[in-house]
Chain A
Amino acid sequence: MKYALYPGCTVLGRGRNYELAARAVAKELGIEFVDLDDFECCGFPIKSVHYETFLLMAARNLLAAEEKELDICTLCSACTGSLTEINKHLIEHFDEKTRIVALLKKHGIDYRMSKNIKVKHFTKILYDDIGIEEIRQLIKKRFINLNVAAHYGCHYLKPTNIYDNPEDPENPYSLDELIRVTGANPKNYPEKVRCCGAGLLAISEDVAYLVARPKLKNLSGNATDAMVLMCPFCSVMFDDNQRKMEQKFGEQYNLPVLYYPQLLGLALGLDEKLLGLRMNRVSTRALLEKLSKL
């Protein structure tokens, strides 16, 4: 299994723990990542400002992978959404694809068209392509009695019409199943599919924090050992900004926030240093201690 790894801006800038854990887990599971020098921003931040620029930015990254005949593995859910949407658009509208290839070429950005590629989020590769049963065979530690809340985020699930094999966005299951295979209990909780609010951080921090608050507030008082997620934007919201929100609202959450590959990596018996668990903003020390005793 070979993919071009598309880390995206936020993982490179703020999610080194995620990148480390994803690469370590991929290696363990026999997924090969190729790094492409041509990858730049997926275009997501520009979509609401200037659609044609967004379209060309996404298309150019896709064409860079197509030229190398590689499918793309994404880590960020927003990148997944942008690249999947435009990939589908170009596959369904070949005239649009040739227009873009010609336009880019005219401006000195020359890519050779090859066969259509796929874009897949790393979590989806684990669930769909590796599969729960295969992962189960490789689990070395089972975290019985660990309560973990899955946070799916929005773009991993929605809009459903762009994804092959979409889950019910009101009642998703892949991340819960991936948590269960580590032996942990995936929690059912009312705010499970609620947006993290990070999309609004640049526009209004106050509103963004208020969107994020109910999730942290209700989970922290409710026998939850950790939140597990798979999007660096969501992590910026719940991990990086958790302390700020505690101060702002006068509340205590103290909820460790892990990227899914960090949890899976521990269950696969990988050293925590390989998984960047000391880089998480909310301390994972107490959690790791608990895990070592399970």
Chain B
Amino acid sequence: MPLKMNELSPKFKYEVSQEPGGKNIKVCFACGICTASCPIREIDQRYNPRKIIRMVLLGMKDRILKNDFIWFCSSCYACTERCPQGVRFTDVMNAIKNLAVKEGYIPPAFIQQIDILKQFGRLYEIDDFDNNKRATFGLPKVAKAKGLTKRIMEMTGLDKIISRKNEEKSETQVGNLGFKI
């Protein structure tokens, strides 16, 4: 698909650079060592760090935020360590994904994880059965989570983003992974 000027958002790069982790995106000089170092790019060509940076700098906001591939970063930091310009692309990806969530795009797996964290404070529930099992190995009891994670999610409004999503389930699916809230 060729670029159309009227579909670009020239300010997108500033939006990315104002998110935590995004501030260095503009110093990229496109050497491509991020792409060459990326273990995901090696497997799946849809995920290409240098291409993502160029698309952000050109203002291709919709095509970035709606796309599934932005969720493919494994956060291994190989690109971040090798980048000669200190772009810190792993952090830039987090900035981009945070923006995608603000626009309503989030993979269902993350919604499930947030629901679990809200309920149990951890990614796995540790119940009486687990604690009995732990006791047989001499491991200390794991206290039931006090709901502190839940309270933080309520404070920041994350729980609202997710419950809004739950009310509008299965509407306006974008791609295979991303969902419009």
Contacts and interface: CB of A to CB of B under 8 A. Distances in A.
Contact of A103 (B107, B110, B155): B155
Nearest to B96: A48
Contacts, number: 153
A198 B44 CA distance: 15
Interface stretch (B25-33, B52-60, B67-75): B67-75
Nearest to A45: B113
Interface in A208-258: 210-211
| Interface residue range, chain B | 35 or more
B136 to A, nearest CB: 11
B124 A199 contact: no
B134 A13 contact: no
A154 interface: yes
A9 B143 contact: no
B122 A13 contact: yes
25 contacts: A9-B124, A45-B117, A45-B123, A46-B117, A49-B98, A51-B19, A51-B98, A52-B156, A53-B158, A103-B155, A154-B74, A195-B39, A195-B78, A199-B73, A200-B40, A200-B72, A200-B74, A203-B109, A207-B43, A207-B44, A207-B72, A210-B43, A211-B39, A211-B74, A276-B137
Interface of A: 9-10, 12-14, 16, 19-20, 23, 35, 37-38, 40-41, 45-53, 55-57, 60, 103-104, 107-109, 154-155, 158-160, 169-170, 194-195, 197-200, 202-204, 207, 210-211, 276
Interface of B: 19-21, 39-40, 43-44, 71-78, 80-81, 88, 90, 93-94, 97-98, 101, 106-107, 109-110, 113-114, 117, 121-124, 126, 133-134, 137, 139-140, 142-143, 145-146, 148-149, 151-156, 158, 161, 177
